[in-house]
Amino acid sequence: MSPRLLLLPLIAALLVGCTAAPSPTPSVSLRQVTLLLGFRPDVQFAPFYLAQQAGYFADAGLDVTIEFKDGADLMRLVADGRAEFGVADATDVMISRTAGIPVKYISTLYDHFPVALIGPSGKVPAYPGELAGVRIGTPGEFGSSWHALRALLDAGGLAVGDVTIREYPQFNQVGGLLNGDVDLITGFRNNEPLRLEAQGMSVDLLTVDEIAPLPGPGLIVADGLLASDAAMATEFARAIVRALKAIAANPETGLDAAVAAVPAIGEDRATALAVLDATVELWSQDGAIDQAVWTSGYATLLRLSFIDGSVPVDEMTSPAIAGTP
Amino acid sequence: MRRLATALLSLAAFLLAWKVLTFVTGTPDYILPAPEVVGERAVRAIGSGLLWEHTAVTLSEILLGLAVGAASAIAVGTALGKSLVIERVLSPYIVAAQSVPVLALAPLLDIWFGGGLLARVLICALIVFFPIAIATMVGIRSADLLLVELFRSLGATRAQRTTRLEIPSALPVIFGGLRVGVTLAVIGAVVAEWAGASSGLGVLINIANQGLFDTPLMFVALATLAVIGIGLHGLVVSVERRLTVHP
């Protein structure tokens, strides 16, 4: 008998041993779902990491897989049922819903619109009407940055042609501002100002909240899922609100969860904590949908022709899910 | 005539397969629009002038990028082909430049060169450069050695050997590189626009995909890029047929 054949029973025994070993089985069968997050792994996604690691999702009967997708793909994948949940800009929900993509916004993550116009201290106008002639860097004619910029210009009685727009589709507008190619940039007020200040630039912000209120990013689901399993969507939204509250009470908890999920975030813990602290200030604490802000944002997007009004604003959200205690 | 009929039949088969796929799978338009939906959107985009506005920008970037990239690639490729010393000195840099993903480098090039047409043409030229330069180098070295000796014995200068023997005999290979380069120029223009631009088909793709969630319009822009690529490739093949001898 060949030596190789002699080894076969041993290999078989090892395989049986491996497969027969007791594996941990959850006491409750959890439902497998997928959550899609836009952009890239970041400390701002700490609530999702915490909900996963602290068992908030498990308490809701869910085993959540987190994936990262481009914003436009995210919307389509959720609508098509290839992922159950997503995080998206409310303004994008309005536009995609109008374009026939059947998603609904079910819970608010950001009470304050996170995008602002950012520039060197003393160079940022206090009123949008003073933006005429200014060079502004923005990723492109899409997404929350573009919507915020257009809303601000509109509030100031200005059109796109009244300013000089320079596009940075790779989101490298910070480089453009530091390089002096533009006077102001659009950016997330919980992120870019900190990055610029780390580079030695003291900055001022022009935010949209008081000037042209727009609803912030939140959780989205497909119409189909909402119709078939609203209870699951409610449980998921509750788990996120639980995580938002826990991190607001102790940001270090969120940072630890983010570092455990993405160790690279811990490379500069102080900056990551500063970003998280700034982010917490923008978060909703109950997930409730502010219908007044949605109505105002809808009217702004309609006036700017981002949407045509064919889908009413109340068909874009599901307030029954949001803010459930 | 027969060639045109074959091309039309092939196009019809492609459209039919596409239609069958969308029909059988029931894929919604926001994931994969049916061909007639894309066609209807194309008519609207042409009618409003939107498509031409962006196509004209991309076409100019492609043609300028191709001109700059091909001219410099043929010059450098000729030098590489004629001198082993130059090849040893330059090759590592050329290969390194080709190995670096231009998509990652493009945003920096955009900032370094001021973000205008110049930056986009340079990015496009960078992508076009490598296949044409390598094809030229190989082509120059493939000149018949007996003819090279004949030119030498007749007292031809280096310049005469290059212009009257080596480049003409390298033309089929150079055109091989140009065929690849012309399609890469289309990709190069879009990559350049994605690094920073306000108009162009790459920008239109971004606007349609991420701004308007208008998947049919995105397909219109993609189809336009494909048509530009096919057209320019056909043009190169046509010039190649005129300039080179076919057995």
Main-chain phi, psi angles of B137, to 5 degrees:
-60, -45
Residue B59 confidence (pLDDT) above 70? yes
- Given an 8 Å threshold on Cβ–Cβ distance, is A179 in contact with B210? no
- Given an 8 Å threshold on Cβ–Cβ distance, is A96 in contact with B213? yes
Instruction: Residue window 145-174, chain A: list those with CB within 8 Å of chain B.
Output: 146, 165-170, 172
Alpha helices in chain A (DSSP H): 3-20, 46-53, 56-59, 71-79, 90-98, 143-155, 173-178, 192-198, 223-228, 230-249, 251-261, 269-280, 291-303
Q: How far apart are CA A97 and CA A79, in angstroms?
A: 10
Q: B79 vs A30, A221, B85, B159, B174, CA distance in Å?
A: 67, 60, 10, 12, 14
DSSP lists the bridge partners of residue A206 as A117
**What is Dmax (Cα atoms) for chain A?**
91
* pLDDT tens digits for range B148-171: 889 989 888 888 888 888 888 899
Q: What are the chain B neighbours of A179 within 8 Å (beta carbons)?
A: 111
Question: What residues of B are in the A interface, CB distance below 8 Å?
Answer: 28-31, 106-107, 110-111, 114-115, 193-198, 203, 206-207, 209-215
Residue B229 in tokens: 């690529």
> Quick one: pLDDT at residue B139?
92
> Quick one: pLDDT at residue A66?
93
Which chain B residue is nearest to residue A75, measuring alpha carbons?
A: B213
Q: What are the chain A neighbours of B193 within 8 Å (beta carbons)?
A: 169
Residue B82 in tokens: 């004629």
Q: How far apart are CA B66 and CA B128, in angstroms?
A: 6
pLDDT band at B124 (very low <50, low <70, confident <90, very high): very high
Partner-chain residue, chosen from A71, A79, A100, that has the shortest CB–CB distance to B210: A71
Q: Does A223 touch chain B (CB under 8 A)?
A: no
Partner-chain residue, chosen from A70, A168, A179, that has the shortest CB–CB distance to B196: A168
- Given an 8 Å threshold on Cβ–Cβ distance, is A170 in contact with B115? no
**What is Dmax (Cα atoms) for chain B?**
73
* pLDDT tens digits for range A43-93: 899 999 999 999 999 999 999 999 988 878 899 999 999 999 999 999 999
Instruction: Round the average pLDDT of chain B to a whole number and report it.
Output: 91
> Quick one: pLDDT at residue A42?
82
Q: Does A38 touch chain B (CB under 8 A)?
A: no
Which chain A residue is nearest to residue B204, measuring alpha carbons?
A: A141
- Given an 8 Å threshold on Cβ–Cβ distance, is A170 in contact with B195? yes
Q: What are the chain B neighbours of A168 within 8 Å (beta carbons)?
A: 107, 110, 196
Mean pLDDT of the region B66-92: 93
The answer to whether B219 and B205 have CB atoms below 8 angstroms apart is no
Residue positions counted in chain B: 247
Q: How far apart are CA B120 and CA B199, in angstroms?
A: 12
Mean pLDDT of the region B44-48: 95
> Quick one: pLDDT at residue A276?
94
> Quick one: pLDDT at residue A11?
45
Q: Kindly report the nearest CA distance between residue A76 and chain B, in angstroms.
A: 7
When comparing pLDDT for B35 and B198, which is higher? B35
Partner-chain residue, chosen from A76, A100, A142, that has the shortest CB–CB distance to B211: A142
Which chain A residue is nearest to residue B216, measuring alpha carbons?
A: A99
Q: What is the 3-state secondary structure (H, E, C) of chain B?
A: CHHHHHHHHHHHHHHHHHHHHHHHHCCCCCCCCCHHHHHHHHHHHHHCCHHHHHHHHHHHHHHHHHHHHHHHHHHHHHHHHHCHHHHHHHHHHHHHHHHCCHHHHHHHHHHHCCCCHHHHHHHHHHHHHHHHHHHHHHHHHCCCHHHHHHHHHCCCCHHHHHHHHHHHHHHHHHHHHHHHHHHHHHHHHHHHHHHCCCCCHHHHHHHHHHHCCCHHHHHHHHHHHHHHHHHHHHHHHHHHHHHCCCC
> Quick one: pLDDT at residue B246?
59
Instruction: Residue window 67-126, chain A: list those with CB within 8 Å of chain B.
Output: 70-72, 75-76, 79-80, 92, 95-96, 99-101
Mean pLDDT, 10 residues at a time, over chain A (325 residues)? Answer: 46 42 55 89 90 96 92 90 95 96 95 94 94 94 94 95 90 88 93 88 92 94 94 94 95 95 88 92 92 95 95 91 59
DSSP lists the bridge partners of residue A87 as A219
> Quick one: pLDDT at residue B161?
87
Q: Kindly report the nearest CA distance between residue B195 and chain A, in angstroms.
A: 6
- Given an 8 Å threshold on Cβ–Cβ distance, is A142 in contact with B115? no
Which chain B residue is nearest to residue A139, measuring alpha carbons?
A: B196
Which chain A residue is nearest to residue B202, measuring alpha carbons?
A: A169
Q: How far is CA A247 from the centre of its chain?
A: 16
- Given an 8 Å threshold on Cβ–Cβ distance, is A71 in contact with B115? no
The answer to whether A216 and A151 have CB atoms below 8 angstroms apart is no
Q: What are the chain A neighbours of B213 within 8 Å (beta carbons)?
A: 72, 75-76, 92, 95-96, 99, 101
Q: What are the chain A neighbours of B110 within 8 Å (beta carbons)?
A: 168
> At which residue do the structure tokens 């944002």 appear?
A297
Q: Does A179 touch chain B (CB under 8 A)?
A: yes
- What percentage of chain A carries pLDDT values higher than 70? 90
Partner-chain residue, chosen from B111, B206, B214, that has the shortest CB–CB distance to A99: B214
Helix, strand, coil % in chain A, rounded to nearest 5:
50, 15, 35
The answer to whether A300 and A222 have CB atoms below 8 angstroms apart is no
**Listed residue (A13, A116, A270, A99) closest to B30, CA to CA:** A99
